[in-house]
Structure formats: structure tokens, C-alpha cells
Structure 1
Amino acid sequence: MLRTIRENNKSIWLRFFVPYLIILIVPLLIGLFAYTKTSTIMSNEAAKSNLLLLDQAKTTIDRRLSDVEMLAQQLITNTGVLSFQGIREPFKDTNLIRLLETRKSIADYGLYNNFILDYALMFKNSEIALTPHKTYTLPKFYQDYMTYTDMDYQTWYDQFLKPYHKREYFPAQPVRLAGKNVDLVTYIQSMGLSSNPQGAIMVLIDNKELMQLLKGVDVSSGGWAYIADQNGNIITGASGAGEEGVKPVSLDARRPSGFFNHQIGSKTMSVTYTTSTYNGWKFVAVQPTYVVMDKVNYIKRITLIVLAVSLLLGLFCALYLSYRNSRPVQTIIARISDKLSFEHIRGKDAYGFIENTIARLISNNEELETEIEAHKPFLRAAFFQRLLAGSFMTLEEIKAQQNHIRINLDGRFYMVALLQFEKNDHFDNADLLQELDIKRVVAKEVIRSLFESDVYFHDAGENKTAMLFVCNFDDLDECRRNITENLMKAEELLGHQFQAKSDFAVGGSYSNLLEVSRSYEEAMRALNYKVSELSEGIVWYCDLPKTNENYVYPGDVEIRLINYAKVGNKKEVSEILEQLYKWNFRDRKLSAYMFRLFLYELSGSFIKLIDQASISEAEISEFVDNMINQDQIHNQSRMFESVTDTFLKICDTVELRKKSHNNEMIQNIIAFLQEAYVDESLNLSAVADRFHISEMYLSQFFKEQSGVNFSSYIEDLRMNQAKNLLGATKLSVNEIAAAVGYNSSNTFCRAFKRIHATTPLVYRKTLGKKKDILITQDRIQKAVQDK
């Protein structure tokens, strides 16, 4: 075998040396051949360079467009958006609140893609357009916010909202967006059914960002570069000097990428293109071939110099390079031979041996990866992650998510179990991680085959898998027996399969999906107990020994407690604290050490409230002082009462701050109205913009705080001033109307008569008569006094 290895090493060295030797023997022939082929080579190199640039642009754009479509998918599946599609009167009754909630929910989707300038949701039934920052009617949206330069409103409406669009991109067009002229590529995804679209989601993509990716293609000396969709429609492009514009080029549909020469008019052009596997878009660069030929003469001179030098140094370089380049191949052969049977080498074809070995490894790896990917529930991973973490606040939210991912979790009882494979300290190794993935896939198949009831899996850690059991047994004990028996079978089967230990632990059973996170926490504790105590069999949380029990403060409960406290909801805070009291003081007896740990974790919740609810440290200092006071630690109930009081005081503080903020805002609004009412353009929209709030919120807020409608308040201000001017001045009705904020005297007179049941002139005459009577009475009284 050793002799065979040496013979193969010698053969490899010769295979490297012979080409160098041939180069030395026929350098001139190679030089002439290189010169005659320079034009083609340079053209190909330029095409390869362009192809690399196009591939880089394609990869970046594919990733950004994937983000665009993910954003549209998140918006279209938003529950608020779904429920708002059928509304026809958005400003009537409770629809106002739904409109505000929908606007608020879509504003949570941040613009994380620098390609996206903005996005909007357009609803046909309500004729409303929503952006992350504002609400428009559809005509107002097109007129004031975004207008296509060469398209009127009706054409835009017919093109974008009437037909059903599925992931469509409209080519770059000049648009007037928020007062600025920009070029946009528009992405449209219709809402509703294809037979009855309810509106559309529009994502506005900055064409400047797309063109930035094509700037590496040199079109300055003539030529062009463009991006076309899968149907050949040009999305965007740029042309060089002397070109009339971007013109599409016929491409070979059978090849996803390549380059070729093409006669366009009187010019021979070099065409380079590549195709996106994501959406079928074509990325094309067209350049004159003579641009490349300018480099040929330079290459000719370099070639002659290299040939002359190579005659002197070629022999030494050939010997050195053949030795150096053959060493890596020899090393690869030796390492493969250590792992595989040496008979796999056929003759002296070392390259064939390496190629066959790599091909076999790639084939096996692809088969394995396909099998693993087929069993990974990617679409459900996010849902189960939130369910186990306790991130859902209501059952309605869980139900909506279930409908979205098309699963049914209806059952009588819910239990979470954990499967942990034997711990390995080197899970950062790629091979071991792949081995762990295989174990997970096999374990899931084994467990799924054993259970008749529904079971759902979620990878909970590097070597843990969570299982959610949905039980429909009438008897809870029967459900537990079924789970225990089948998990024991699974443990035995997996032990035979992998020759390694696997641990199972099960949390408590609950009838509410909101409690699944608690079962998960309990399963984690049961698993930790099993591992630390080296316990055998399936460990249930309810069977754990109750001595020296840990405190109970699940993560989902902490999140809910903080969320309710920071909005001042005393009722919900009290209920959560009462539940914590029951778990930790009625259901169990904590040691002083465990109780102190419990208080420390509660103090962490207070610190989070300081950051999230802007609570000062002074407001919780009393609790912290009591917590660290060793003399008080024995009175656990009294200490927990202190915790409860502190939380409720925080709720009062938050509520008081909200009221104070509301009082300050209404005073500022009223002060502004009393100064600006003389402006005829003053309206609800102008005031909302002035205070950076929505019109809907301003209208509701003003009515709640002042007791009168916004429009009625402004009208009262104007009418009171008008009455003062009618009685104290000789200004005409036209002048008074303009002075109090009316754009015409007719509007002023109609409003005055509607409120006072008389005209301004009659009101002035009545005031004049009253003044005359008062003056006469004063004169008579004075005359009587003189006598």
C-alpha cells in the first residue's frame, strides 16, 4: 500500500510538472495563440466581471424583495387589516376605533429595508388609504401624498385597485411622493379573493437604490444595463452616452445566465445576463465590444515581456510550482485514504478518486439534508415559540394565529413534555449539530407514531425538544397513563437507535392554552430534577418532592404583570399578584432563602418598570429598603403585601400622570384655539397636525375633556366675538365675518341666524335700542337727583 501511495504521489507531481515543461518548449506558440485569442478572452473576462456584478446585484435585490414580500405578507395577515376590509363606513360608530386600531397595528411594522420608501394599505369598501403615519381617503391619498406623473387618479385606481394583483411589480415611474419627485418601483399585493379583491397593499421601492447596484457596469461609452421581470417587462435600467434609451435584448430562455455577442443596428454588442431563481427576473448588461479591445495592445506588450522572462526563469518556476501545487493534492489523497478503503482509487487517476469521493459525500449530505428539512415545521415554529414563552395575552389572539397557520389545538387538556438528548460540550461543531438534527427528526417520527392524540413539536434548545400534547380523554389520569407508557416506549426505542441516553419530563396539565407556558416551565423544572437526581423513567412535575420547593414566578406572568402595571391597570395587576400569592404562600411554604430569591426577582420586575413606564427610583425605594431588611424577612405575608401596595401605587402614579398629561394637552389646545379661531382655514385637520395627533383621536379627546364637540367650540368662540363686535363697533357685517374667521358673509349670517334666531343686523339694532333706553333712564335719574 505504501509503495502504491508513493507511485501516486509521483504521478501527481508529474501531472503538475509536464504542463510547465510544455510551456517552456513552445512559449512562442503559446504567446501567439494567446495574442490571437486576446480579444475573445478579454471579452469573456469583461463578461465574467459583469456577470459577477450582476450576480451580486441579483443576490442583494432578491434578499430585499424577499423582505418586501414578507412585509406585505405580514400586513395582509394582520388581524386588524383582515377585519377592516369589509367596513364601508369607517367613520361611523365603533368603526372609528377599529380604524385607529388598524392604523396603530400596521405602524408596528418598521421599515427595516433601505429599498422601501414607504408602504400603504388601500381599502376599496371604505375608500381609505392607511400609511404608517397617516390616514387618507383614496382621492386625497393620490392627490396629496403620492401622484404618478403620467397617470390621473381614475387610471391609477383602475390599474392598481380594480384587478387582482398577486406579488406584482410595476416598472420604475416618476412619482410625486410627499412633496418630492422620486422614481419608484411599485409592489402590489391585492387583499381578498382573486374574484373579489378588497383592496391592495402597496410597497414603494426606491428606484435609486436599485440603480445603485447596477452602477458597477460601465455604460459610459455606450450601452445600457437593465432589470426585467419574468415576462420580459423592463423594471428599471440606465443607458450610457449616445444611447436613446434602454432596449430589451432577446435572451436564451434555456440558460439562466451567460454572455454572447449580438448585432444591434451597426454595432456589435457584448450581452451579459443572469436570472434570479427567486422570482425569475433578468439582470442584463449590454456593452460595445470595442470597449474591451482597447486593452488588447496593452496585453500584447505585457505578453512579450512575460515570454522573455519566462524563458530564463521558467524551468526553476516549473520545478518549484509543480512541487508546491502537488503537495495539497497529495495531502488530500492521504487523508481520504485514512478514512476510506484504499481500493477506491482506480489506477492512478487521483483526480477521479477525489471527484468521486466528493460527489458521493455531497450526494449523501443532500439526501440527509432533504430528509431533515422535510420534518422541520418552519411555518409553525414562531407560533409555538410564542405559546411556550407565554407571549400571547388572550385566547382570541391564539385562535387567530391557529387559523393563520391552519392547525387545530382544541382539546380538554394540554401538557408540555421535554425530550433532552445526552449533553455534548462541543455542539458548536457543525458535524455534531447535524447529528443532533438527525436525532431530533428520528425522535419526532418515533413519538408521532406512538400517539393517537395530537402532538406538536418545537426545538427548545441545542439538545431539547418540546412536545405539546392535546388530550381529549375525559379522564385526566387516563391521559397521563397514555403519555407515560408511550414516552417510555419512545425512550427505549431511541436508546436502541442511538446508543445514547434521552431524558423525558412532563409539566402539569391545564385546560387553557394560555397556561401552556406554565406547563412548559414546569416540564423544564422536572427535567432539571431528573438530570440532577439521575432519576429513571418519565418524570412528572406533579410527582416532584415538595420539600424545599422553589418559588413560582413564570416568565409569561412577569411579562403580563409589567405590561398591566405600566398602563395603570390595577384590576389585572391585583389578580396576577393574588395568583402569585396563592402559588407561593398557600400552595407551598417557601424557605427564607427561596423567599429572598423571589423578592429579588420581583425587584427585577420593578427595575424593568423604571425603564418602561418612566417610574422614578424614589417611588420604589421603600420596597427595596424593606426587601433588604433582614429583620422583616421572616414575615413573608407582610412583605408580599408591601410588594402589592408598591405595584398598586405605581398603577396610581401612571394613571395620575396620564390625567395630568390630558389636562395639559386640553389646556394647550384650548389656548391655541382662542388665539387661532380668527383664521378661516382652522379646522380639525390643522389642529391635529399642529399637535401631532390623528384627527379621530383629537375629536374624541376634545369631546371627552371639554364636554363639547370640537366644531361647536370653535363656532361659540367666533359667535361670542362677533356679538362683541356688533355691539361695540360700527364694522360692517362683511368685516366682522372676516375678523372672526368666516370666509364669506353669507356663511357667517346663516350660522348667526341658526344659533341666535336672528340676523346680525337685527341683533345690532336690538342692542342699539337697549342702549338708548339705558341712556334715557340715566338722564331721567340724573334730572330727578338735580331737583
Structure 2
Amino acid sequence: MWRVVSRSMTNSHRVFLRLLIPNVLFLLFPLLVGGVLYYMTLHEVEREVTSNNMNLLQQTRDILDRRFAEVSSMAMQLVNDTRIMQFQNITEPFVGTNTYRVLETRKSIHNYSLTNNFIYNYFLFYKNSELVFTEDSTYKFADFFSGFKYKTRDTQSLKSLLIGDFYHRMVLPAEEVTAKGGKMTLLTYIQSLGFPGYPQGAVVITVDNREIQKLLGGLDLSGGGWAYIIDETGTIISSSVEGALSDWIDLSRLRGKQGSQMQQIGKMNMMVTYTTSSYNGWTFLVAQPEHVVLGKVLYIKKVTFTMAFIFLALSLVIVYFIAYRNSRPIRTIMETIVERTEGSPYPASDVYRFIRDSVARLIDNNRELQDKVKKQAPLLQAALIERLLKGEYMPQKDVPILLQHAGIEAQGDMFVVVILQLRTYGDGFDLILLEELDVKRIMVKDILREELEGSCYLHDVAQDQIALLFSADAAARQEHEAYLQDMLGRIDGSIYSRLNISVRFAVGGMYEGLPNVSRSYEESKQTLEYLQWRNKDGMMRFDELPKGHNGYYYPSDLELRLSNLAKAGEIEAVETLLNELYRVNFEERSLSVPMLQLFMNEMWGTLVKLMPQLTADEGVLEHIKPFHGEMSSYAHLEKNYKSLVAAYRNMCAIVNEHKKSQNVQLLNNIVELLHLSYTDAGLCLDSVAERMDISKGYLSQFFKEQTGVNFSDYLEQLRMSQAKELLAKTDMPVYEIAQQVGYSSSNTFCRAFKRINGVSTTAFRDLKAF
């Protein structure tokens, strides 16, 4: 363990030095150039002053370049922060768990606070949620812009500017801003969230213009001199004086990227010294009266040495701080990659290549997984529709997830099934006819997809039959029935004209809810049987069948649904189905007493077949004893049916009680396992699911439902409570405590401890000792 910690610390130092050395070299290079230029100017007074002015301008340029590089680095870290990126798609920030995401995003912003006096403040603007995050608060757009106003921009134009287009390292010129009840002049740096052409918000960092004016104030501007910073478009970013300049120099009048030249500006000869930044293309320019230039040699000499020393000292401190700060996220990324992928320690000599290769593998694996999901989607869709048509039981809470995985989008809560039958081939099929039928069926499907435009789902139910599943809104039921009739008519004509095939359309009833899809399918099959019996083509609805009923209504698919619902303990759904059977057989159909007796006997048979499957005791039979009594009248049959309903209700209660007992035992086993094995670093959702012999998806959902806490959070809190006890009561090293509470890495343990408890392990131990 000590060798692992030592090796990790060595690699961390190497990453830090790799970032520090280039920055120090970059810092020393302009200082060296500035020194050479300064000593060359001693031979000529005008050249000396010019070179010193150039040196000061370059220092100002370099300082600003570094400051804005810091601002850019800070903005890109904010843009690439995972929690900040995930919040871009939030539209309702204060609904459900999104409130927790608001707090997490606020925490992410606070972590990027810098001790940089150039930065006045920074904000996060989100387009979808219309929220503004600051370092210490969260605002709606209207509330924020009411207290933060630009002099030349109204609220709407400012809002459109910030989130209307995509910007990369855009800087707005210095402008008067009203903030916190006072007025000041600020530069505005904008880095958009999202992608080009798809902005999702912006990171806005304001820079105090007074700090820039302080840098420009180091130049000798006496006697009417002035200085300003101008961008590549000719816009003045900042100047040494407040307000607009009466005389300013066009960029076209300057030769090269830097230099000095004498120009007639107004009525005065001015020595113009300028330099252009390679970082952002800004031109730093100072103009001094000619009579002032020649008297500043000694003063410039003193200022140069003073500024060089201060600049070197401050720059070394800043470079050290930047290198250390920039190395931290890289180290964190590397440790996370190694920890999550269970790889070997990363090579400190080429960390960027290691990150690139790891990210490339992640992208490739993700694409491979997406391709597999797309290939499985048709099979999932066919299997789900098959289950719906057969009436297999599906828990209501799982239905939306199953629909999403299968790629089925229901456009309403009403459903109807239509069976399309190809008529050309008769009843018998040989091998040649079957092959031809397969081709025709595929061509018919293509026609259906063209005509229906994705408004329904197709499923093969026989060699010559295709089931069509439609969904509709209950409020527009009549309009959908008319649309369905018109659409099927057009499809019939299109199939006949293009393939010379006659077809039948058997339309079932339209019912609410996916569980009733099987009922509509059963009705469409009855309708198709009638069309075949009468040898008719075209379309026919179930409610158009002859109304005379000589038999009772208890189809096999409905019996299967009743059995599945009873085995699942769904009391309300069972009673709804039993009430529907009562309405059809006792009220709508004029059945004789013997026919109703046959119906009741079959219902009794279903109940008896269920009892062994549910391990129900003989007490349930108390509710069905009336079946053995007199059933020669409608009154006795109705009484017996009520007893049947009571028996089903009792059986569902037994099922639910058994499920509840099993859930309690399973939860106790899981909790006991966690408390006994939390010291095992390999303990996770997968390993616990394997020991409990259940799927990890069910385990995660079950644990959350039973305890109200996520599995991973519960395990982490359990480990942390034991860690706090060891920190408070023992003198064990942190890496040993991490190992004892189930963490394979002390770094991972320390980060988790500070994230959960708000203090480091050392601070916690010192606090407890005090």
C-alpha cells in the first residue's frame, strides 16, 4: 500500500513539473528579450525611450494575455465541468431531483473561485432553465438583469447577446455597468455553452477595467499623452481615459505588428509606440508628445528595473499557482481513469496520450453499444407487441420503460388492433406459394409504412396476416375512427392497384390502456373469422358483427390475463376484469341459465387451477362453496358470481401478503450482507446482486423503494460512518483506514470523505481531538 501511495505522489509531482517548467521558460523569454532591447537603447535617447515604452507595452500585453488566458482557462474548465454540462438540458430546475442538481451546480461554480483582482465576478447563464448562477447565489433571468445593467444595452438585447449566438473567447469593450447598487466600468468575457449553432447558455466573466487602466497608467501620459487597447476590428477595448477619444489612430497607419513612429496627431507631433498580441490580436498603443519623450530616459530606467523585478516575482508566483492548479484536474482525471478502468498506474511521461487513448476507447465502446441497441430494437418491438396481443401481464410501472426500449411511442391512451389478411392464396400453402407469400407480405408492409407514416406498428401473426396496432387520444376518438376507416380504404386500393391482391381488414374495438390491446386483438380475430366464413373482402368492425349470442363470453386470452393478474396480486385490475365479464354475460347477452352455469363452471375451473400455483390453503375454498349448491336461477348465479369475486379478492390478498413477507426477508438479507462485507473493496451492486441471485436492475430499484436511499449512497454512508469512528478513536494512518472501510485507494477515500463531510480527514481528526 505504501509503495502505491508513494508512486502516486511521484507521478503527481512529475505532472506538476511538466506544467510548471514550460510556463517558467515562457516567462523568462520575454524578460530576456526586454533586457536586451533596453541595453540597446542606451546609445540613442529617442531609441531608448521608444524601447522602454515598447517594453512597458509588452509587459502590459503579456500580463493581460496571461490574465485573459487565466480567464479563458477558467471559462473552459467551467464549460467542461460534468455537472455544469449536465445542467444545460434542465428545463424545470426546481422539480424533483433537479433541485439537488441546482445545488451541485452551485457547488461546482464555487470551486472555480480565483484570487485574481482582474476578475470582478463571473456568472453562468442557462438558456433552457433561464437561471443565472453566481458564486454565491442563483437567480432567474429577470431578477438578475434587474440588478446588473449595462449603460448602452437593455435587458432584452443583453439576454439575446449572451444566449442567442455561440461565442468563443469573445470580449466586449469596457462599458459602464450598474451592479450591487454602484456603477463601474467592466470588460465582459463570453464563452458559450453547447455547440456552434446550438448555444445552451454562456459563461460570463467580468473584468474590472480599472485594473487594466492601472497597467496603462504605468506609461508616461503627461502633456496630453494617451494610451488605449484596440482589437482587430478597430474597436477600442480599453483606454487610459474615460469616455471617447477625440483623436485616435487607424490600424492601417501602423506598419508591422509592433514598432515606433512619429505622427502628426491634431496639432502635435506624437511619438506612437505600439505592439500587437499574438494571443488575441489586440494592439496596445501609447502616444506621447515629442517634448515629453526626450525628458524621460532616467525615469524610464528606474521604472523598468522596478517593474521587471515586481513582474518577475509576481509572475513566478502566478505561474507556480497556475501550474499547480492546472495539474490538479489532470491528476484527478488520470486517477479516475485508472480507478474506474482498473488499469495500471498511468505513465507520467505521456499523460495526455494516456487520456486521449482512454477517451477514444470510451467513445468506441459507446458507439459499439449504441449499434447493438439499434440492432436489437426491432426484436424488442416485436416481442413487446407479441406480449400485448397475447395479454401477458406487465407491471404498470414497467410499461413506459418497455415502450421506450422497444422504440414505441404511444400517441394517446386508446388502442385498437386491425388484422390485415392477404386473400389471393386460399387456405393451402405449398413451399413455392409460401415463398411468394413472404415476398408479397414484405411488399404490403412497405405500402403500409408509406401510407401510415409511422402512425402505427406492424406485427406478423400468421403467414397471410399482419396485425396493425393503432393508438389515439380519447378526446378525439370519433375523429380517429373516421380517419382509420378512410386510411384503410386507401390502403386497400393501393395494395390492389400495385400488387393485384385483395385484402380483408378486421377491426377490433377501441379500448383504453395497453392491457386491453389483447381484448381488441381477440375481437379482431372474431371479426376475421366472420369475414372468412362469409367469404367477404374489405373492412369490417367488431361492433358490426351480428348481435345474436348463443354462447357465453370468456375467451382464452382473457382467461390468461385474469390468471396473470391474480398471480401478480393486482386486486383492482382483477375486479375490473370480473366486472367486465359480468356485464357482458349477465347484462348484455341474453344467455340461458344452463349457458350461464357453463360459464360459471369454467370460471370456477380457472380459480381451481390457480390455487396450486399460488400455494393457497383450503381456506380460500370457503368463498366458493356456493358453487356446489343450487344454481338453477339467475338470482343464485349472481350470488355465486359475487362469491367468485370474493374468492379472487382473498387470493390476491394472500399473494400480496406473501410478496410483502418475501420483500422484508430480502431487504434484511441485503442489509446484513452490506454490514458484514462493507470492508471488501470489491463489494458493489453487481456482486451483491450475484450473491442474492437477482438482477442488478431489480436490486437497485427494490433497495430504493424499500429504504428511500440509493444502494451506492447507503454503502458509502456505511463506510463513512465507520471511517469517522476510526479517525476519532484511533491513530491509524489514513491509508489503513481507507483499506479497512473498503476503499482500494486512499486518494479516492479522501475525496469521498471531503465531499460527504465537508472537511478533510486531517481536519476531522484534529477537530475531534480538540
> TM-score, normalized by length of structure 2?
0.38
> TM-score, normalized by length of structure 1?
0.37
